Homo-oligomer: A and B are copies of this chain.
Amino acid sequence: MPRVVDAEQRRQQLAEAVWRVIRRDGVTGASVRAVAREAGTSMGALRHWFATQDQLLSFAMTLVVERARDRITAVLRAGAPLRDQVLAVLEETLPLDDERRAEGEVWLALTARALVDADLAALRDRAATELSGLCAAVVDALAEAGELAEGVDAALEAERLYAVLDGLAVHAITRPSALPPARVREVLAAHLAELRDTR
């Protein structure tokens, strides 16, 4: 079905145009008109896909989540030893290269916008539930492998890991010179090492 494939590809191209506008001009600048110009298409053609700015922003947010989810699925399928796998999975959510940095900037911009936009807030909350669930799964996997000390509060450790992860993400996005990718990896690895040794 080449037309279905083309349609999905076209939707992704348009969402990437939304990302570029958000990164350059902020959420405010991401009007249907500006995105059509960025994508080299007409407003009429763009409206075939996204009728309003809200739909553009929602799809831009959805694409961030889908891309991270696809990469995480690929890491899980590769089936590395648990410690390596845990680190690799969590790193897929952090802005450690240009692609993930673009996602991170769009995520931060739309997370803030979601404070005053109920549709985006619903998307943001679903993404947060997914990511905090991933952190809980990581802690549970370490516990099942006998790598957590007895008596550790798994729910609290999941919440703390999730805070480290998003704190590092915000800092790497906003302070790239103070927190380059190698340092982000180092802090995350230290946290996981400590988690395995928690008394």
Query: Interface residues, chain A, CB within 8 Å of chain B?
Result: 23-29, 105, 108-109, 111-117, 124-125, 128, 132, 153, 156, 159-160, 162-168, 170-171, 173-175, 178-179, 183, 186-187, 190-191, 194, 197-199
Known contacts: A116-B24, A170-B166, A187-B156. The answer to whether A125 contacts B199 by CB under 8 A is no
Hey, which chain B residues are within 8 Å of A113, CB to CB?
26, 112
**4 closest A-B pairs (Cβ-Cβ)?**
A167-B167, A163-B167, A112-B112, A26-B116
Known contacts: A159-B179, A164-B163. The answer to whether A170 contacts B111 by CB under 8 A is yes
19 contacts between A and B (CB under 8 A): A23-B116, A24-B116, A26-B113, A26-B115, A27-B28, A111-B170, A112-B112, A112-B113, A115-B173, A115-B174, A128-B178, A156-B186, A160-B187, A163-B171, A163-B187, A164-B167, A166-B166, A166-B170, A167-B168
